Amino acid sequence: MHLTLGFSPCPNDTFIFDAMVNNKIDTNGFTFDTNLEDVETLNNWAIQGKLDVTKLSFAVFLKVRDQYELLNSGSALGRGCGPLLIARDNISLDDIKNKTIAIPGENTTANLLFSIAFPEAKNKKIMVFSDIENAVLNGEADAGVIIHENRFTYQLKGLKKLMDMGEYWEQTTGNPIPLGGIFIKKDISAEKRAALDQLIHQSLQHAYTEYPALSAYVKSHAQEMDEQVMRQHIDLYVNNFSLDLGKEGHAAVDALMSAAQKARN
């Protein structure tokens, strides 16, 4: 079965999908047209129903759940891995509502978590996640919500953390942070959905057998990262929840969906 597949070029996703898209394991008859894009692009494509299987921010799930179903494998969900609110200078959290905040996409979980913490902050500037640090440095934004590898680089540029958005979520809900998951179209048969879910699980297991060695596929798509940062990225965003969400993972997703519903109302 041939499927269109989308995920980000970030090391956590390329690490998970490398074995299955590059035929390092038996794909059980599945072949893929692979699209590596920023997660907000994938979010918008899912709203259009463009891909068969795709990585998505959990925040967009409410908008696409009539078309897509969440798989158990491949998710980015955990503790201590949430987005950070950063700035050049110290800003009072009470004053955030009056500031211009750069966010990595309207439909991202990062924006949802920021909105839950700062519901009165409306002056947002939507950017590609990798541009946010520089936007804050050059004054285009007063502060920014950073994700992915920027968690490991912002201090090197002299930026300061104002709040850990994931820590806020964990403290207020007790749940791990659901960032992004792998979704498949509901019009694909239940048998094929289950088979693909298992294939993603096997692909990640294969990646772990070679880790901490990094494949050429992971390194070729990482954006200006040295290998240490790539491993930090993988260690932060890939874990047991990536192998199988389980009850705790699904409960965390349900809690985020409830929070998202309240934020929309």
Instruction: Give the residue numbers annotated as catalytic, written as ranges.
Output: 148
H or E segment to which residue 184 belongs: strand 177-185
d(CA 14, CA 155): 26
**110 annotated ligand-binding residue:** yes
**57 annotated ligand-binding residue:** yes
How is residue 13 written in tokens?
């996703």
d(CA 118, CA 14): 33
Give 258: exposed, middle or buried? Use CB within 10 Å, 0-12, 13-18, 19+. exposed
| CA proximity to 70, closest of 191, 205, 250 | 250
H or E segment to which residue 76 belongs: strand 76-78
Q: For the residues of 12-65, what is the DSSP string, one character each? A: HHHHHHHHHHTTSS--TT-EEEEEE--HHHHHHHHHTT--SEEEEEGGGHHHHT
CA angle (25 as vertex; 190, 189 as ends), nearest 5: 10
**186 annotated ligand-binding residue:** no
Could you tell me how many helices (H) and strands (E) the chain has, helices first? 11, 11
**92 annotated ligand-binding residue:** no
Q: What are the CA-CA distances from residue 1 to residues 28, 45, 70, 99, 193 (Å)? A: 9, 21, 19, 49, 11
**85 annotated ligand-binding residue:** no
Which residues sit in the known binding site for substrate? 55-57, 109-110
Which residues sit in the known binding site? 55-57, 109-110
